Structure 1
Amino acid sequence: MREGEDAPEKFPNPGFGPHRPRRADVDPRADKRAERQVVALFALSVLGTIGFIVAYFAVPPGDTIASMRTSNLALGLGLAFALLGIGLAAVHWAKSLMNDHEKAEDRHAQRSTDQTRAEAVQVLRDGVQDSGIGRRGVLKGALVSSLALFPLTIALPLIGEVGEDWNVSKFKRTLWAKNKKLTIDPSGRPIKAADVTIGSVVHVIPEGLDESEAPLDEKAKAVVLLVRMDPRDIKSEQGEGWSYDGIVAFSKICTHVGCPVALYEQQTHHLLCPCHQSTFDVADSAKVVFGPAKRPLPQLPITVDDEGYLVAQSDFHEPIGPSFWERLR
């Protein structure tokens, strides 16, 4: 628009360009070929779902990193093909078989009239007829089969294997026990209180963990962070007498989503989780001072034995890690 000219009240309607028919619109063989392609994609989804179910039972996670990696890969591939088949089939169906004529509708009042509603219902019916699902029996069967089977990829892990142990009490305990020595991770060497200097941080595990035949998840729950500070800096503890001469021990598993907490700032006594920046004050019962975590890190009660080695007074007094069902707090 040139300077000084009045703006038009509305722009002219450019209309639609000439419609260009697709090959499937004019060639029955191309139409049939496109239908077979859509059916094949839905069949791919069915095979993906079946593969997921087979992998769920035939390739369990096991207790080693390699077995977990293999199980996750098999499940991931099955889930990927199950979703990919449905998605590609829907796109190819819409682009090659459904009506592709451009349509435009004028804006109407927010509240439709009864006649408009009746017309909308008719449009839906026309859409169903346009899709050709009523006269394409094989295509309809492939669609129903893929959509009916796919939810199994979500439901099966939730239901669990036959005979799955649903006892949640196992989440409330770890391998720590009374008089269990604190040993350096990963060497397993017992540690004396005199070996820990003020400001130092030591990653510790229960004595005998390497020789233990406990499952990998049980070992992962037992990791602990040991910190020594000036006893005068300790503001509070989760239990009376749970520290020794300024040495405190807390679970390394973040109470947000279970990441390893390990970044200690000596001047502020803050402990940072690198995943989502939850920050805990070690000097004040590991209470949350920042971030999405909602609970302090559980404290491990510790003391020393007759030889001066650091030992646990008991297991944690509360479940470690993120929340789960039946957890009271």
Structure 2
Amino acid sequence: MSDNQHSTDLTTPGASQEVFADPGMPEHKHRRADHEPAADKRAELQVVVLFVISILGTIGSLIAYFAFRPDGTTDGTRFSTLTLGLGMAFALLGIGLAAVHWAKTLMSDTEVSEERHAQRSPDEVREVAVQKLQDGVKDSGIGRRGVLKGAALSALALFPLTIAVPLVSSVGNDWNVGKFRHTRWEKGMRLATDPTGRPIKAADVTIGSVFHVIPDVSEEERTSHEWITEKAKAVVLLIRLDPRDIESDQSPKGQTWSHEGIVAFSKICTHVGCPVALYEQQTHHLLCPCHQSTFDVANGAKVVFGPAHRPLPQLPITVDDEGYLVAQDDFDQPVGPSYWERLK
């Protein structure tokens, strides 16, 4: 060990312990805005611009909400969602960046340390603390920065409109949940592949295969504005199992709802409505990717794991004279999540 090095044994009882002096607070580094009026004014202007961006984002989201309403098509819904989301993003991002930039450039950043003391300070100490808070408000410059104060208050006051206006305007919408009790499926309607609309023959479905299915409707209906809503309720997952593996096909009156091991279930999770489309062939389980609800398609798509409370509704199927798969009727129960008119 060199002459200018030493060690202190802190493990041996009675050993001397080296005491370090309190290094104190590091030297405070002043920002340019603290001593340059031009830099201070520039920082204030930058914060104002960020708040103005938030205000413009709020106005833009309101314009987008009313000007670009969904027209029933996929592209229309996508564009409406995109414009509304961008407006809300700029509205919230402007407020966040303005607050950060304000704190880093304009508010007081002087370091303060205090000795630990009892939880309740004496009255005179509390008065000093209150005075410091008041000094902090004064240091922030909010009282003498009228433009900045106006921009901040305007941005904070307007932003809630991005949420409140769509929410309030939806009060007059159709809240009839009974429409989820029935879908486009009806007796004799063929099952078709999604999105091509090609009817499916039972002979084309091999054991272990999975088909994404929609009702076989006319081309005119598939291109209509109403189709996207009807399709959303009627989407089906078609799977062929070994008939010996099927424990139940949910037939309440004893009729067979599957055809030679082919079963069809709604793709809409009964938890919150996510698309259930992850099939594990070895276990015959369907997994919802949103919250991991798992359904056993060999046993009537009953829930075996996760937060869902109800099995997936089953579409009763058979074949027609030409060998095409057709629906025997609509789903056996309402599709989608449980709602207030149901017990679960």
Residue 235 of structure 2 corresponds to residue 219 of structure 1: no
1:4 paired with 2:9, answer: yes
Deviation at 1:257, TM superposition (A): 4.5
User: Which letter does structure 1 place at the counterpart of 2:9?
Assistant: G
CA drift of 1:120 comes to: 3.6
Supply the distance in 1 between the matched residues of 2:16 and 2:294 (Cα, whole angstroms). 59
Q: Are 1:239 and 2:251 counterparts?
A: yes
Amino acid paired to 2:247:
K
Partners of 1:218 and 1:117 lie apart in 2 by 65
Amino acid at match of 2:232: A
Query: 1:80 is matched with which residue?
Result: 89
- Work out which of the residue numbers 67, 77, 81 in structure 2 matches 1:58: 67
2:187 to 178, 197, 207: 178
2:264 and 2:314 in contact (8 A); partners too? yes
The alpha-carbon distance between structure 1 residues 327 and 41, as it changes in their structure 2 partners (threshold 3 A), is farther
Quote the residue 2:153 is aligned against: 144
Matched positions, count: 329
- 1:315 is matched with 330
1:1-329 to structure 2, matched below 5 A, reads 2-4=7-9, 6=15, 8=17, 11-161=20-170, 163-193=172-202, 196-208=205-217, 210-212=219-221, 213=224, 214-240=226-252, 241=255, 242-274=257-289, 276-305=291-320, 309-324=324-339, 326-329=341-344
Quote the Cα distance in structure 2 between the aligned partners of 1:150 and 1:99. Answer: 27
CA distance in 1, matches of 2:110, 2:337: 53
Distance 1:313 1:117 in 2: 78
In structure 2, runs of 5+ residues without a counterpart are 1-5
- Deviation of 1:144 (Å): 0.9
Letter in 2 for 1:138: V
Distance of 1:7 and 1:308 partners within structure 2: 95
**Partner of 1:211: helix, strand, or coil?**
helix
Amino acid in structure 2 at the alignment position of 1:251: S
TM-score by length of 1: 0.85
Deviation digits for residues 71-98 of structure 1 (CA, Å, limit 9, x no counterpart): 2332222122212221222122222222
Q: Over aligned residues, Cα RMSD in angstroms?
A: 3.0
CA distance in 2 between partners of 1:257 and 1:317 (Å): 19
Q: Is the 8 A contact 1:209 1:219 kept in 2?
A: no
> How far apart, CA to CA, are the structure 2 residues paired with 1:100 and 1:201?
62
Check whether the contact 1:300–1:312 (CA below 8 A) recurs between aligned residues. Answer: yes
Measured in 1, the distance between the counterparts of 2:9 and 2:208 equals 76
Paired letter, 1:237: D
Identity of counterpart residues, as a percentage? 69
Residue type at the aligned position of 1:288: V
CA distance in 2, matches of 1:35, 1:122: 25
In 1, are the aligned partners of 2:270 and 2:309 still within 8 Å (CA)? Answer: yes
Per the TM alignment, residue 11 of structure 1 is displaced from its structure 2 partner at its CA by 3.9
SS, match of residue 220 in structure 2: coil
- Aligned partners of 1:294, 1:115: CA distance in 2, in Å? 60
Shift of residue 318, structure 1, vs aligned partner: 2.8
Q: Distance in 2 between matches of 1:9 and 1:297?
A: 71
- TM-score by structure 2 length? 0.82
Single out whichever of 140-149 and 298-307 deviates more from structure 2: 298-307
